[in-house]
């Protein structure tokens, strides 16, 4: 490892995992408790068996730039990200705690807007705000505001990243890359007729309906590292290959155009309002229909399938070629989520 | 409320509570779940009934300056603070998750030292590291490093802030103000023969022994806002008055001297390795003896007692006077914890 941290280590890809495995989890003797699921599984959350099910825990920090953007703000991002990390473990979100750090001189009106985003979505999703903390640092101690949020949910059955089997279909619930491109376009000052809005939103409502159908074998929230990162993790942990079809990938046309302009691979771009899942073949079309009947999942598509293999993701291109979709090493664009 | 956040809002006193009550918790419809204890109790942690006891949750962010200081570093502070927030709720710490944000260019050697502090103390306290995240921001996005940490513990019986009754004795487990004065003296470049070391340390080992004696009616981790803040909260929530005796307050002589030089009231100074508790009179001396037999509690003292009243803290001074110890409004010294 090098002497200093560079920006790619925070990208959520291979280099972030390198830091977590080689440094953060290196000396810890226990990675779970009560025979639950912990850091060893490197999933979206952790869990312990309780009351004929599992309490699921997740925690993350949000340091986005800018803090207000088309389609949302850092508060909406934090509560959506927390709810979605729980939801993709199969857990109904129950409660969150938020730790807020602001820079001296931060506008109380802005703080109120951000908190309003958090509380409105918490209320809509029947999520309790059970604790929190507030700190102020001197100017330049943080860039405006950082939100740390932990979430607690309850799952009757846990959905892991590692459950894919050959034959499963891969479903994505909406257009890919929207959040990252919306944010970068706004940052760079690209103007389109209508600004592209981030897809940030909580997905428990949609996911809970899909879970009721059954057959979901693995699920992931493709934030940093995007679909490429999520599918690589699922394929590697499940010891299978995933084949995806370029022509099936849903995206917004203006997002595709801007991604090309910005040189961003949409497969690696961060999402905040879609889920990628493996579903048993016999349930896949029913799950797809249920997803499409929700407002969050109306653009859902079956984008690929699981085959035997050793953990690779293969893209079949529109023109009939094949290429390996590598796990992103580290994103060069920090602070998108 | 004013238009902009000033530094005093982060002090952990009345102004922090104003932000939490008027803004953070204003619109949230639910403040707890499963008939547990949540934000409405404004305690050191939250809890839900599970398995004939309570799972207890806590979360906080650490943005200290400097990140290495006599007696510890930001990692030791984060794990100690998390363990202690659980311990003062009566909970054995079981697990933590950490979210780390560093500035681009942060030294990996420093990161390793900080993580080593976290993992060594987690291992010593049989605490699992069940999850975490790592992000990198551009220079000046954060000042070096911020650690968010959530903790999970299990309590057979919850100890709240609000359990004081007239007749209870007030015990403090060690010298007061040491952490804040150690940090400020180091920041200001005051040199004493031996640098004053922060008292940062996990206290579950000590607290668990005191809990076995029984009779503990309320307990608090007097970090930001110090003993003055902790006792005011306990007195107000319990609807009693607390009388403390100046001559009984334990402190290190060099800390007292520097506090005078720096103009800091030791009662308001942050601590990271002591606990303040109310104990039924008939158990108070036994608890005191048990505390004194531990390395963490060898300077424990009965510093006062609970009388009927309306939520005030009264100091009886060494020369026989009385003064009201107000709840600190907001600390002017940020980033000590």
CA dist A117 and A137 (Å) reads: 23
Does residue B333 surpass a pLDDT of 90?
Answer: no
Distance from the A337 Cα atom to the nearest Cα atom in chain B, whole angstroms: 10
Which phi and psi angles does A221 have, rounded to 5°? -100, 105
pLDDT given at position B227: 97
pLDDT given at position A335: 87
Domain that holds residue B45: 7-155
A82 and chain B in contact, CB less than 8 A: no
- Same structural domain, A81 and A175: no
User: Dmax over Cα atoms in chain A, in whole Å?
Assistant: 57
pLDDT given at position B157: 96
- Same structural domain, A203 and A113: no
- Same structural domain, A16 and A151: yes
Q: Is residue A195 part of a domain?
A: yes
pLDDT in tens, A149-164: 999 999 999 999 999 9
pLDDT in tens, B257-279: 999 999 999 999 999 999 999 99
Distance from the A215 Cα atom to the nearest Cα atom in chain B, whole angstroms: 27
Residue with tokens 């803090």: A67
A contacts of B51 (beta carbons < 8 Å): 50
pLDDT given at position A332: 65
Does residue B248 surpass a pLDDT of 80?
Answer: yes
- Same structural domain, A149 and A112: yes
- Same structural domain, B176 and B298: yes
| Contact (CB<8Å) A59/B150 | yes
List b or e across B48-75, with b for residues whose CB sees 16 or more CB atoms inside 10 angstroms: bebeebbbbbbbbbbbbbebebebbbbb
- Same structural domain, B150 and B173: no
- Same structural domain, B26 and B129: yes
Q: What is the DSSP letter of B21?
A: I
pLDDT in tens, B132-173: 889 999 988 999 999 999 999 999 999 999 999 999 999 999
- Same structural domain, A53 and A14: yes
Residue ranges of B 194-223 with Cβ closer than 8 A to chain A: none
A contacts of B34 (beta carbons < 8 Å): 94
The candidate with the shortest Cα–Cα distance to B130, out of A44, A17, A98, A62, is: A44
Q: What is the pTM of this model?
A: 0.96
| Contact (CB<8Å) A20/B142 | no
Of the residues A126, A155, A184, the one at which a domain ends: A155
**Mean pLDDT computed over every residue of chain B:** 94
pLDDT given at position B169: 98
- How many other CB atoms sit within 10 Å of the CB of residue A330? 21
Average pLDDT rounded to a whole number, residues A231-245: 98
B2 and chain A in contact, CB less than 8 A: yes
pLDDT given at position A322: 96
Distance from the A155 Cα atom to the nearest Cα atom in chain B, whole angstroms: 14
A contacts of B38 (beta carbons < 8 Å): 95, 128-131
The candidate with the shortest Cα–Cα distance to A91, out of A17, A132, A36, A133, is: A36
Number of domains in chain B: 2
A3 and chain B in contact, CB less than 8 A: yes
Q: Is residue A1 part of a domain?
A: no
Q: Is residue A49 part of a domain?
A: yes
Q: Is residue A2 part of a domain?
A: no
Q: Are A197 and A273 in contact (CB under 8 A)?
A: no
- Same structural domain, A316 and A189: yes
pLDDT given at position B192: 65
Does residue A111 surpass a pLDDT of 80?
Answer: yes
**Rg of chain A taking only CA atoms, in angstroms:** 19
pLDDT in tens, B47-105: 999 989 999 999 999 999 999 999 999 999 999 999 999 999 999 999 999 999 999 99
Does residue A192 surpass a pLDDT of 70?
Answer: no
CA dist A65 and A41 (Å) reads: 30
**Mean pLDDT computed over every residue of chain A:** 94
ipTM value, please give it. 0.94
pLDDT given at position A337: 84
Task: Let me know if A296 is exposed, middle or buried by CB neighbors in 10 A (0-12, 13-18, 19+).
Answer: buried
Residues sharing a CB contact under 8 Å with residue B321, sequence separation 6 or more, in sequence order: none
A53 and chain B in contact, CB less than 8 A: no
Say how many CA atoms lie within 13 Å of B180 toward its Cβ.
30
Element (H, E) at A130: strand A128-137
pLDDT in tens, A266-302: 999 999 999 999 999 999 999 999 999 999 999 999 9
CATH code for position B220: 3.90.650.10
| Contact (CB<8Å) B59/A133 | yes
Q: Is residue B331 part of a domain?
A: no
A contacts of B8 (beta carbons < 8 Å): 136
Q: Is residue B276 part of a domain?
A: yes
Does residue B195 surpass a pLDDT of 80?
Answer: yes
CA dist A79 and A159 (Å) reads: 21
- Same structural domain, A174 and A319: yes
pLDDT given at position B12: 78
| Contact (CB<8Å) A150/B334 | no
Banded pLDDT at A237 (limits 50, 70, 90): very high
- Same structural domain, A273 and A223: yes
pLDDT given at position B178: 97
CATH code for position B32: 3.30.1330.10
- Same structural domain, B173 and B320: yes
């Amino acid at each position: 490892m090098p002497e200093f941290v560079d920006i790619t280590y925070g990208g959520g890809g291979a280099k972030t995992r390198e830091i977590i495995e080689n440094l953060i989890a290196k000396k810890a003797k226990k990675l779970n408790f009560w025979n639950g699921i912990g850091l060893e599984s490197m999933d979206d959350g952790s869990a312990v068996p309780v009351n004929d099910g599992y309490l699921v825990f997740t925690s993350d920090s949000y340091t986005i730039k800018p803090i207000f953007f088309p389609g949302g703000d850092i508060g909406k991002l934090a509560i959506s990200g927390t709810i979605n990390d729980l939801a993709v473990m199969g857990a109904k979100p129950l409660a969150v705690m938020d730790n807020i750090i602001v820079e001296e001189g931060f506008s109380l009106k802005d703080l109120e807007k951000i908190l309003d985003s958090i509380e409105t979505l918490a209320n809509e999703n029947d999520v309790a705000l059970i604790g929190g903390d507030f700190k102020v640092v001197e100017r330049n101690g943080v860039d405006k505001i950082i939100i740390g949020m932990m979430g607690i949910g309850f799952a009757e059955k846990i959905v892991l990243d590692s459950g894919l089997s050959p034959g499963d279909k891969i479903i994505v619930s909406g257009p890919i890359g929207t959040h990252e491109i919306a944010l970068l376009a706004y940052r760079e000052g690209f103007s389109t007729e209508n600004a592209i809005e981030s897809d940030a939103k909580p997905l428990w409502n949609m996911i809970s309906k899909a879970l009721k159908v059954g057959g979901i074998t693995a699920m992931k929230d493709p934030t940093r590292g995007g679909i490429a990162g999520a599918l690589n993790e699922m394929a590697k942990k499940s010891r299978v290959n995933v084949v995806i079809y370029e022509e099936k990938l849903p995206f917004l046309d203006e997002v595709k155009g801007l991604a090309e302009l910005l040189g961003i691979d949409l497969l690696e771009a961060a999402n905040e309002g879609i889920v990628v899942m493996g579903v048993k073949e016999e349930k896949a079309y029913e799950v797809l229909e249920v997803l499409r009947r929700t407002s969050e999942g109306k653009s859902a598509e079956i984008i690929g399938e699981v085959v035997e293999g050793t953990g690779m993701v293969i893209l079949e291109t529109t023109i009939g070629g094949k290429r390996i979709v590598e796990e992103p090493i580290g994103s060069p664009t920090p602070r998108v989520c």
